[in-house]
Amino acid sequence: MPAQLILSISDIETSAKDLLLHASTSNPELVPDITIIGKGNNRSLSIVPSMNHSGVAEITMTVSDGYLESFSHFSVTWIDNRNPTAEISYSITETTTQQVIATLIPDEDIIVINNNGLTSKTFTQNGDFTFHFIDKAGNSGNVTASVDWIILAGDVNGDDKIDIKDVI
């Protein structure tokens, strides 16, 4: 979400509409876009941070009348507060008697905080498993892998167990 900053600029000898305002960032990876809006004394900066980034950027503003320049700067700290998301990819998606591996496909760098930190889970029978994970900023997310297409060898009636009902 962009941050808006209202500015007031003036010069004793030059009309405000003729003053040039420029803004730059010390951290273009964090703040790739700064837009100056308006003419005259009152202007604004629209500062747009990168998605999924946290950090500090120093914003430097320069006002020039064509002969002299005046500088001002301030620091902006962004903390990513968007929860990470992920999808699940399955090694097999059809009815099978083989194991199925569910692999986590996150939308950003994450650390899995369960499953011994692994991003995949091997299913030898039908069931569910929920991956819990965090991103670099500490935001948490989770996604559940569900498998219901493993058939046990010898399970004739498909009730996920081998019992007397499977005898032909």
| Structure confidence by residue, pLDDT tens digits, 50-90 | 877 788 999 999 999 999 999 999 998 887 778 999 999 99
Give the torsion sign (CA, 26, 30, 35, 41): negative
Closest CA to 35 of 47, 43, 24, 20: 47
Question: Over the Cα atoms of the chain, what is R_g?
Answer: 28
Structure confidence by residue, pLDDT tens digits, 121-130: 999 999 999 9
Dist CA 153 CA 162 (whole Å): 8
Dist CA 102 CA 42 (whole Å): 56
Q: Are residues 46 and 31 in contact, defined by beta-carbon separation less than 8 angstroms?
A: no
Q: What is the pLDDT of residue 1?
A: 64
Dist CA 87 CA 92 (whole Å): 15
Q: What is the pLDDT of residue 24?
A: 95
Dist CA 132 CA 155 (whole Å): 33
pTM for this one?
0.59
Q: Which domains does the chain have, with CATH numbers?
A: 3-78 (2.60.40.10), 86-157 (2.60.40)
Element (H, E) at 128: strand 127-135
% of the chain surpassing 90 pLDDT: 71
DSSP, residue by residue, 67-101: S-EEEEEEEEEE---PPP-EEEEES--S-BSS-EE
